Each structure stands twice: as C-alpha cells, then as structure tokens.
Amino acid sequence: MRKTRNEELGRLSVEEFRIAGKTPVIIVLDNVRSLHNVGSVFRTADAFRLEAVYLCGITGQPPNNEIRKTALGATESVGWRYFSSTLEALQELKASSYKVYAVEQAQNAILLNHFEPAQGGKVALVFGNEVNGVDQAVIDASDGVIEIPQLGTKHSLNIAVSVGVVVWEVWRKFAL
C-alpha cells in the first residue's frame, strides 16, 4: 500500500467547487475567539462541500493570516457571511427554511448518533464560544439541540474537533 499523491485525489478546483452541488448544511459560529478554530472550520466545510460558514459576533473573518494558516485556502472555496449577532443569522436561516440546531450540552438534547435530518431539508449547525459554548438566547431560538456523546472526564471537546465530529455524522446521514 502506498500513500496517494495529491494529484491523484481528483479534487475540485476552487471554481468547480463554487458551482458544484453542496451538502445542505451551514455552520454558524457563535462568538468563536480562536482564529485557528475558524480556519479549521473552513477546512471542514470545504472537505464536506457544505453550503457556507456564518461568522457571528466576535468571530474573526477572512482575510486574516491566522485563519489562513489553518484554512489552507478553504476561505476561497467556501462561501461565508458575517453577522453582528448570531440571532440575526438564525432569523435569516429560518426565513430560508433551515432547521437550526445548536451543538451543546442541554436538557432534552438529541444525542448526535440519534439525530436524523429531514430528508430534503436544510440544516444549520451552531457552534459556540470556546469557554461559554452556545449562548442561551441562541439555544432558545434554535429548533433543537444536538449533543455529542462523551465518556471521559472532560466536559467538552475543542470546537474544531466538535465541528468535524458533527459534520461527519450529519453529512453521512445526508449521503445515505
């Protein structure tokens, strides 16, 4: 077995990515502080050909050298928008028929492995601040909450890791 060379992977160009069909998922970042986390989210959104990333509140925006370090060009392929408030982004998403799910530990949350997106539907996934998580007002405005099952001693995962875990599972369910 040998490692596959990049040119053998058959990846889309940025122009091809922009016009290609997308997974009906938008990632919403609710006041994410780390620019490296933002860049990682863009790479995940590119990997799964998501519709967009919405950057809200204090979340950093491209162009930014710190975001660029981890995005590795994904800010050029993935569509993004900035909103001064996450609630403003949620209003727009709901008006466009997205079901909005906060990813958080909360009462009555749906465990990720039990989450089933509506076939033919569109989903927005809200990920929160590294210290405080998703703001309670944003949780209240969401259609539901998804929780990643965890078995260890820590109460949370890094946001970039959380995005990867959740997007993989949601993408897998859309792809089936």
Phi, psi dihedral angles at 131 (to 5 degrees): -100, -45
Q: Say yes or no to pLDDT of 70 above 70.
A: yes
pLDDT band at 176 (very low <50, low <70, confident <90, very high): low
Strands (E), 68-143: 79-83, 98-103, 110-111, 122-128
Contact 25, 124 (CB under 8 A): yes
Q: Both tokens of residue 29?
A: 């970042």
Enumerate domains of the chain plus CATH numbers: 14-175 (3.40.1280.10)
Angle at 126 between CA 109 and CA 85, to 5 degrees: 125
Query: Is the confidence at residue 32, as pLDDT, over 80?
Result: yes
Residue 113 CB neighbour total at 10 angstroms: 9
Q: Is the pLDDT of residue 6 over 90?
A: no
